[in-house]
Structure 1
Amino acid sequence: MRLDLVSLLDMLVRIDSINPSLVPGGAGEANIARALAQLLTQQGVKVELDEAAPGRTSVIATVKGRGGGRALMLNAHLDTVGVSGMTAPFTPRIEHGRMYGRGTYDMKGALAACILALLSARGVDLRGDVILTAVADEEHASLGMQSVLTRVTADAAIVAEPTGLQLCTAHKGFTWHEITTHGRAAHGSRADLGVDAISHMGRVLVALEQLNRNLQQRAAHPLLGHASLHASLIDGGQELSSYPERCTLRLERRTLPGESVTQIEAELKDLLADLGAQDPTFQAELKLTLAREPFSTPPTAEISRHLLEQAERILGRAPAKVGQGFWMDAALIAASGIPTIVFGPDGSGAHATEEWVDLDSLRACTDILTATIRVFCA
């Protein structure tokens, strides 16, 4: 049975796969993983399910080559963000060459393209294997990708996140931190006893603003621009008539290739040490809560060259080379030693109330992935 791209995407969008780590009670990936596994098994493809946590299921599907060739991984994620504010998010509709619905753009459209590209490898007499990893939890903690990488490797990987048919070879990473300032609780009438933790955090905020300005003065990455940081969440104090004994700030630092977590923590610790040197009553502590490394693949990598050649032949133009500010599973794949690029369709509305993928670009993406497989795995 030959699968149609539009019908396949329609099927995928109709399956609720909201990430339960983002939306309590979300459906998770088990249902869509089972449906995809059944579909691929019916097509004669070897399928394994990988459950990183209860209900957090990924699919590993392989079309084996005859041996002696290079293996190529195609990667997409199964989970979506929530649907608050959307009307009929799981009922796809097509208007003016676009399919609308939750996940069409981020990234079930690209998943459909990867599925058809994988199936195209059957019966072509390739030497190398083609592997589809359709993973859980990319939108939160990447449990699926981390688990799958303990079972799968390849000679190169294409992550099919939407890029507007541009070649992405770099994206930013991020670190999350908590800063807590400590004061001394006292009645609001006892200025002689109280130490205001919130006022101390105000000094931290001013210093962080200056650090962010300094980041903009450093050399820019050719594809990603500058690193940045921002204050995300803050809370503190007990009640109106008390000096606050504690204030906690949560901040995010967006990172560039070449920046290390150690370096970033050192900058923040130095910032707090400087504030402490100015005021002996200033007390603060820093905690790293999460780090995700940036991603960069040399544009000279062989998988980049093959995809660019096939894309230019199919599109009639050379795709632009770009970087992305947001984080992707590409960083984990590359960190495992697999040369990785990102290439996917055009559209809009990731995490928004109106989401769509351009169907012509999705067809072109499928053709380019298919052609790249036949060259790389030949």
Structure 2
Amino acid sequence: MPATQHPVVTLLEDLIRIDSSNPDLVPGAPGESAIADYVTSWLSERGFDCHRLEKTPGRPSIVAISRGTGGGRSIMLNGHLDTVSLGSFETDGLLPEHRDGNVYGRGAYDMKSGIAAIMVAAEAATAQPHAGDLVLALVADEEFASAGTEEVLRHYTTDCAIVVEPSGLDVVTAHRGFAWFEVTIHGRAAHGSRRDLGSDAIVKAGAFLTALGQHDVELSQRTSHPMLGTGNIHASVITGGEEQSSYPASCTIALERRTLPGENSVTVEAELRGILDMIASGDADFKYSVSAGLERNPFSVESNEPVVASLIAAATNNLGATPSVRGEPFWTDCALLSDAGIPTVLFGVDGGGAHAAEEWVTVRSLVALTNTLEEVIMNVTDGPGSGR
């Protein structure tokens, strides 16, 4: 069968035609309801027990389960149903196109290809009895706040998991996290003519910004993580002042710190306060406050975890070569699964154009991903020992 006629390609085309743009990114966008209906119908017809989780109306995640006969390990395959804006796509993002061995369309790469591979692989793998449960978590909202995976994890757990984000058919066993903070430098408001009464919060913030830049350099010189390099920090947004004729009473710097395993919001805040206290020690009029925001933990999984070994073996079998094992600089839902105590690994298609004007997946990698996932499912769920 030509690769372009593989059932996973046909399914991907159907999924691309469904607008599942995330409404938290695109006001008025439809969200995941229509695509959730589609995957539920498709999987129910193939014997999966489907559950709809929809704490936020209109933002459903689908959990589809194929129960095992007992005695085997369970596995969760996780992928997200939402996409970013169609407006940024240079042609019709809902019209799948084939060119040069690739499929083009919004979500073709990130990540309706992964959803299609999960579904087709799961159908094939469960055509025969299996000991462990297979759980498909097809989730909402990964592109914004990962509310879908968080909701799934409040209700379901498994012995291991694979997140099928695009990875170029590399095996990803680590990625960085992040912590957001706001640092406010406090001054004193006064008329612009009254230096004796005013204290310029924006000017005083300059000392902190300079020190923040020096801190980023120091981070780059720390011992490098073998897969993730070093952490980094940057100022993202600065706000302060009311009008040109007044001394500003405050200046707030929103910043982001990208973190490595072993780092978290607590360690980052301690670093920030150390910097700020050092400035204050030389300036009695330097006042500040620190507010922690969103935090997402780094992710890592040990190479000797059975799901990692099984994935590498299956990928080697289907690719004809051992896949690269590496880390990613950005954050994924792998961290949420890992935080829930589920050994997790990331593996997905090759292609490009995530969030861009043109997005594509290579058909070769889509078929290879599907075949690899099928083999992993069979090996993991067959029993407590080694694979089939």
1:250 Cα deviation from its structure 2 partner: 0.7
Indicate yes or no: 2:127 matched with 1:123: yes
2:11 aligns to what? 8
Paired position in structure 2 for 1:79 = 82
Q: Where does residue 349 of structure 1 map in the other structure?
A: 353
Is structure 2 residue 258 aligned with structure 1 residue 258?
Answer: no
- Offset, 1:260: 2.5
How far 1:320 sits from its partner (Å)? 0.4
Question: Once the 2 structures are TM-superposed, how far is the Cα of residue 44 of structure 1 from its aligned partner?
Answer: 2.1
Which residue of 2 is the match for residue 42 of structure 1?
45
Q: CA deviation at 1:171?
A: 0.5
Asked whether the equivalents of residues 265 and 292 of structure 2 are also in contact (C-alpha less than 8 Å), the reply is no
In the other structure, the counterpart of 1:242 is 246
Residue 43 of structure 1 deviates from its aligned partner by 1.9
CA contact 1:5–1:112 (8 Å) conserved in 2:
yes
1:148 counterpart residue number:
152
Alignment of 1:83-122 (within 5 A): 83-86=86-89, 87-122=91-126
Distance 1:230 1:352 in 2: 24
- 1:198 aligns with 202
Quote how far apart the aligned CAs of 1:83 are.
2.7
Could you say what secondary structure the match of 2:112 adopts?
helix
Instruction: Look up the equivalent residue of 1:328 and give its one-letter code.
Output: T
> Does 2:320 match 1:321?
no
CA pair 3-31 structure 1, distance change in 2 beyond 3 A: farther
Contact 1:118 1:131 in 2 (8 A): no
Deviations for 1:286-317, whole angstroms, at most 9, x for unmatched residues? Answer: 10111000000001111111111111111111
| RMSD (Å), alpha carbons | 1.3
**Is 1:285 equivalent to 2:289 in the alignment?**
yes
Contact between 2:78 and 2:162, CA under 8 Å: does it hold in 1?
yes
> Equivalents in 1 of 2:140, 2:6: separation in Å?
23
**If the length of structure 2 is used for normalisation, what is the TM-score?**
0.95
Q: CA deviation at 1:3?
A: 8.1
Which residue in the other structure is 1:304 paired with?
Answer: 308
Report the CA distance between 1:244 and its aligned residue: 1.1
Q: Distance in 2 between matches of 1:186 and 1:65?
A: 71
Q: Deviations over 1:95-143 (max 9, x none)?
A: 1111111111111101100011111123322111111100111111111
Kept in 2, the 8 Å contact 1:230–1:253? The answer is yes
Q: Tell me the distance in 2 between the aligned counterparts of 1:59 and 1:362.
A: 22
Q: Which ranges in structure 1 are unaligned for 5 or more consecutive residues?
A: none
Instruction: Map Cα deviations across residues 242-286 of structure 1 (whole Å, 9 max, x no partner).
Output: 111111111110000111221111111111111111111111111
- Contact (CA 8 Å) 2:75, 2:133: kept in 1 or not? yes
The alignment covers a number of residue pairs equal to: 377
Which residue is 1:21 aligned to?
Answer: 24
- In structure 1, distance between residues paired with 2:315 and 2:263: 32
Q: Is 1:230 matched up with 2:242? A: no
Q: Unaligned stretches of 5+ in structure 2?
A: 383-388
Q: 1:58 aligns with which of 61, 78, 81?
A: 61
Q: Distance in 1 between matches of 2:320 and 2:125?
A: 24
Take 1:316 and 1:121, find their aligned partners in 2: how far apart are those partners? 21
TM-score by length of 1: 0.97
Q: What secondary structure does 2:213 align onto?
A: helix
Superposition misfits of 4+ residues, deviation over 6 angstroms: none
Q: C-alpha distance in 1, partners of 2:158/2:299?
A: 17
The answer to whether 1:368 aligns with 2:355 is no
Q: Residue 237 of structure 1 aligns to which amino acid in structure 2?
A: G
- Name the CA distance, whole Å, in 1 between partners of 2:143 and 2:123: 26
Helix, strand or coil at the partner of 2:51: strand
Q: Shift of residue 52 of structure 1?
A: 2.9
